[in-house]
Amino acid sequence: MAKKKKDSRLALVVGINPDNFKLSDRRLMKPVCHQQFENGQLTGSMLVQEIDSVTLSRSRNATYFLPNNIALLLSTSKKALESAKEIYQGCLTSQNVEVDLEKLDGDRKAGMNEISSKVCDYLEHIQTAIVFGYTTLEAFVNLSIPDHYEYTTTKNSKGITETYDKKAIERWLTLKTKINNILVKIYGTPRADSQVWWGHFSNLENYRNDIIHQKTIDSTEFYKVYFKSSIFEICESPEKVIQFFHDCHAKQDRTNPIWPWLKGAKDLPINRSYNSQHFEVVGNMYEGIRKKL
């Protein structure tokens, strides 16, 4: 085990060569590859993955690799969406299952109860996918903005401008504005609103707002859009948004520790200015932490 000097965070050396690293769980933070160069030649390399621990009781602790919160949120959304798809394909749109009251055989009341339960399960999963998918993007965008970043915009036709710092951006600007006006500059990408996924993302935002800011408590009319097959592409848009910024960023040979594991992406964050003086060994996996922090 190792930790950075003047830093209480612990990490485990999990390898040397990034190409040989084997992913165990997509919800974890990526290890960082620290490389040391002398005269332009690679002289040392190690993969360091952060760990954390929590006290469960007086005699019990749990130690684990640090989760990636963006990945956790995205995983929750994707699992819910897969469950919704199973109900949609296996029940609601299957020719082998009757869901029309007028065509039900036998005890129609019992049949209605079963159909209604399936519909409620479906709606739960879809709403979970929507809310957690949108929250994934909020977390991704806010974490992508550097601490001292400022965004200046023209307020009206008189040319009055407003400048937002990171906290003001997080609190006052819409997610659409953050993605299309700020993230494209941070990551150096083409306009976001010209991408094929933009319309699906816009719908996702509308559906999320309908859930969070319900005006009429007894109105369920907004549920109806969930039964259109396009709902699945809409719920898949968060990963496509992140993938877009990741791919554009990767082309510049730049990486970011906040990136979750994405489909087809194997790149790891690389620190090419490693200095062994910045780290100290405090233990190992088998003997534990030898040095008191």
Give the whole-angstrom CA distance, residue 146 versus residue 165.
Answer: 10
Give the whole-angstrom CA distance, residue 80 versus residue 130.
Answer: 9
pLDDT digits (tens, 9 = 90+) for 38-73: 777 877 788 889 999 999 999 999 999 999 999 999
Residue 270 CA: distances (Å) to CA of 21, 29, 72, 245: 13, 14, 23, 18
**Residue 125 near residue 87, CB atoms below 8 Å:** yes
Q: Among 283, 270, 287, 269, which Cα is nearest to 11's? A: 283
| Cα within 13 Å of Cα(161), Cβ side | 6
pLDDT digits (tens, 9 = 90+) for 189-212: 999 999 999 999 999 999 999 999
Q: Two tokens at 99?
A: 């869901």
Least-confidence region, from 41-50, 118-127, 158-167, 215-224? 215-224
